[in-house]
């Protein structure tokens, strides 16, 4: 068997998908015009698949903060946080996130992916148990795999199924960590967090919530689903990323457990990865300040999300279970989904195509993500483009 033989199935899948669309694997944003528009294949295109919920990448204040950080600290750190990679800007951002989330301790990581990888591979081990929502992000699964922890899944957002597993597993007399997300990235639905917290308390478990898609989006102050559900004090660990609402690159883990600080010495992805560039850190911190000062951004985001969700629902599309800045449009057949995706791109709208097995129910999704930076006219243009491909659904 040759080294690359194991990739033959992937190659075959790629060739099959290329029959539906020559451009699917070749989409390049040739010129970025704004947070909501780019040139794709020489044509001005509305971006409706970017996770850019609050329009931060093009905020003048964030750009200036990043440029200032480059001038003062250079383009990179060239070292891990445990070596020469901890700069004053890293510490200041950790303190700012702790203040914002009302948590005592925060560790900043190079990416949101490595935040989950670091936390889950270190907090729990082979003698512990993680019970996670079946729809959790790949980084949560990979963190568990790296830590060698025993993993059990419960059906997506099914509290009864979670309790069944807790009842059975609590008898083993070991530590149990429940892992869920605030806002799920495929269907745009929320975890039933209040009920999950009740079970966490009843069975003496720990709780980790990944707020990657809900930071800046949910809650009166934008702290995420934990704030919206009123259970912030009951969440042991909050994981997040800078790459969505904060418009940068990086991640964090926050907690009131003082032992979180020990992850700095025990987590391999933290110890052996170069720290985030000063520009990314400065941009994220400035974006966090803006989120605190401008709650109207969240209002605008939800106005856009509700508008598009309502219009697509009226057209008869099969959508996610509730309005959200993440709006999945479901297709039962992959060829139809590709035809619709091609049609949207031809009509100047880019969305994400998500295919099995990445989708929760083995259907194909055209995944829209709305932004506070979208104008009402752009949202209506997205809806009109979907109307033109409605016959393919």
User: CA-to-CA distance for 156 and 6, rounded, in angstroms?
Assistant: 31
The helix or strand, by DSSP H or E, that contains position 332, with its residue range, turns out to be none
Can you list the positions of beta strands (E) in the chain?
A: 29-32, 37-40, 43-47, 105-109, 129-133, 150-154, 176-181, 206-210, 237-241, 251-255, 326-331, 349-350, 352-354, 364-369
Kindly name the residue from 35, 114, 118, 185 that is annotated as catalytic: 185
| Residue 12 three-state SS | helix
The answer to whether 235 and 73 are in contact (CB under 8 A) is no
Crossing angle for the helix pair 112-123 and 138-147, nearest 10 degrees?
Answer: 30
Dihedral Cα 352, 353, 356, 358, nearest 10 deg: -10
Kindly name the residue from 90, 105, 137, 244 that is annotated as catalytic: 244
| Residue 131 three-state SS | strand
User: CA-to-CA distance for 175 and 60, rounded, in angstroms?
Assistant: 46
213 is a catalytic site residue:
yes
Can you list the positions of beta strands (E) in 134-271?
A: 150-154, 176-181, 206-210, 237-241, 251-255
88 is a catalytic site residue:
no
User: CA-to-CA distance for 376 and 92, rounded, in angstroms?
Assistant: 37
156 is a catalytic site residue:
no
Kindly name the residue from 103, 105, 213, 286 that is annotated as catalytic: 213
* β-bridge pairing 129-133 and 176-181: parallel
Q: Which residues are catalytic?
A: 185, 213, 244
């Amino acid at each position: 068997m040759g080294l690359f033989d194991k990739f033959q199935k992937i190659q075959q899948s790629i060739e099959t998908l290329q029959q539906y669309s020559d451009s699917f694997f070749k989409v390049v944003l040739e010129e970025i015009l704004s947070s909501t528009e780019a040139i794709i294949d020489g044509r001005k295109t509305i971006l409706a698949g970017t996770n850019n919920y609050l329009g931060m990448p093009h905020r003048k204040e964030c750009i200036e903060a990043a440029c200032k950080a480059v001038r003062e600290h250079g383009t990179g750190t060239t070292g891990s946080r445990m070596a020469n990679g901890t700069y004053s800007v890293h510490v200041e951002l950790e303190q700012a996130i702790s203040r914002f989330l009302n948590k005592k301790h925060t560790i900043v990581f190079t990416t949101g992916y490595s935040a989950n990888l670091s936390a889950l591979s270190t907090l729990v081990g082979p003698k512990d148990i993680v019970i996670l929502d079946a729809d959790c992000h790949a980084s949560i699964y990979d963190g568990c795999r790296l830590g060698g922890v025993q993993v059990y899944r419960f059906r997506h957002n099914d509290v009864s199924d979670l309790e069944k597993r807790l009842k059975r597993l609590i008898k083993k007399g070991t530590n149990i960590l429940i892992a869920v997300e605030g806002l799920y990235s495929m269907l745009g639905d929320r975890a039933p967090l209040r009920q999950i917290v009740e079970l966490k308390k009843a069975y003496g478990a720990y709780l980790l919530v990944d707020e990657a898609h809900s930071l800046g989006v949910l809650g009166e102050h934008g702290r995420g689903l934990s704030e919206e559900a009123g259970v912030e004090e009951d969440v042991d660990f909050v994981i997040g990323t800078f790459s969505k609402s904060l418009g940068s690159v990086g991640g964090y883990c926050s907690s009131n457990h003082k032992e979180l600080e020990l992850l700095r010495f025990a987590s391999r992805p933290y110890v052996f990865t170069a720290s985030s560039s000063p520009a990314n850190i400065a941009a994220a911190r400035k974006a966090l300040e803006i989120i605190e000062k401008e709650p109207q951004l969240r209002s605008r985001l939800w106005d856009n999300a509700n508008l598009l969700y309502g219009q697509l629902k009226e057209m008869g599309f099969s959508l996610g279970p509730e309005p959200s800045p993440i709006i999945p449009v479901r297709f039962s057949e992959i060829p139809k989904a590709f035809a619709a995706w091609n049609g949207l791109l031809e009509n100047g709208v880019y969305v994400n195509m998500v295919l099995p097995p990445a989708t929760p129910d083995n259907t194909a999704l055209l995944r829209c993500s709305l932004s506070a930076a979208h104008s009402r006219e752009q949202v209506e243009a997205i809806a009109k483009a979907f109307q033109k491909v409605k016959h393919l659904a």
